[in-house]
């Protein structure tokens, strides 16, 4: 059973434990860009009250990254092992059998037919170990449409895991998102620029960048972001988002 991880943030590019998880569990050379309903919807205290990415079923489709797991998830045990490893990468202090906490959890999307037993077994594990965080429901199912490739074709996976984090009740505007990064000087803008660099995109990216460039925070001059800034400036000029 072909399993994958749908990634929408720093799990894809952060170093340390997350890099170890990526190397041990994922076939990074086969990562693909897919459509998914995502936005900058969670205010993160650990990132200076700036915004991080969330799934939001009513959001306009953005671009996420889907990566195949190295090991096939042939049973619920294999699926749970991947979920535990994913959550440990998300929350290094978590216990080894944890798949969630009050601010986030791991959910699954099932794409293959005749998975009634697997879905039921996953539901039982989820209910015993996690509290649902929207848009993951009480059965541990991430309630989004099955991801598709950028050309609209459905992805060729059997089951996909992803982490949902608790979002604000309202959807922040591009100005609110940009201003949170503009108003700090501790390096938390890295989250936006690294997402862009690694192909994690939202339809708000151009508006966010326009606001950042208009306000011209000091960190905008950093050479670390020069390539990404050049790309964003080109996109703003042409009105397109590059892949």
Residuewise pLDDT in 10s, the chain (243 residues): 899 999 999 999 999 889 999 999 999 999 999 999 999 999 999 999 999 999 999 999 999 999 999 998 889 999 999 999 999 999 999 988 999 999 999 999 998 766 788 999 999 999 999 999 999 999 999 999 999 999 999 999 999 999 999 999 999 999 999 999 999 999 999 999 999 999 999 999 999 999 999 999 999 999 999 999 999 999 998 877 766
Distance of CA 96 to the CA centre of its chain: 21
Q: What is the pLDDT of residue 169?
A: 92
Angle at 65 between CA 59 and CA 71, to 5 degrees: 130
Q: What are the helix (H) ranges across the chain?
A: 17-25, 76-90, 116-129, 174-182, 190-197, 205-215, 226-238
Q: What is the pLDDT of residue 240?
A: 74
**Hey, which bits of the chain come out as E strands?**
3-7, 32-44, 50-55, 61-68, 100-101, 104-110, 148-149, 159-165
Residue spans per domain, the chain: 3-165, 174-238
The region that residue 41 occupies, defined by phi over 0 for left and psi between -120 and 50 for alpha, beta otherwise, is alpha
| 104, β-bridge pairs | 101, 165
Q: What is the pLDDT of residue 113?
A: 66
Q: What is the pLDDT of residue 74?
A: 80
């Amino acid at each position: 059973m072909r399993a994958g991880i749908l990634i929408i943030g720093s799990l894809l590019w952060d170093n340390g434990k997350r890099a170890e998880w990526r190397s041990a569990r994922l076939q990074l050379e086969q990562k693909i860009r897919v459509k998914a309903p995502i936005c900058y919807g969670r205010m993160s205290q650990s990132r200076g009250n700036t915004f991080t990415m969330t799934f939001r079923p009513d959001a306009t489709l953005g671009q996420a990254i889907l990566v195949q797991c190295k090991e096939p998830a042939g049973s619920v045990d294999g699926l749970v092992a991947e979920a535990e490893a994913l959550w440990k990468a998300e929350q290094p202090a978590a216990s080894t059998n944890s798949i969630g906490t009050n601010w986030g959890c791991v959910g699954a999307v099932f794409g293959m037919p005749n998975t009634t037993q697997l879905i039921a077994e996953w539901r039982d594990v989820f209910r015993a170990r996690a509290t649902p965080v929207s848009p993951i429901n009480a059965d541990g199912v991430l309630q989004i449409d099955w991801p598709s490739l950028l050309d609209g074709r459905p992805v060729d996976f059997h089951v996909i895991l992803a982490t949902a984090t608790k979002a604000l009740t309202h959807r922040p505007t591009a100005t609110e998102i940009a201003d949170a990064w503009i108003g700090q000087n501790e390096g938390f803008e890295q989250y936006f620029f690294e997402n862009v660099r690694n192909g994690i995109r939202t339809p708000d990216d151009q508006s966010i960048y326009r606001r950042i460039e208009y306000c011209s925070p000091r960190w905008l001059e950093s050479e670390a972001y020069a390539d990404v800034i050049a790309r964003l400036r080109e996109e703003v000029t042409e009105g397109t988002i590059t892949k």
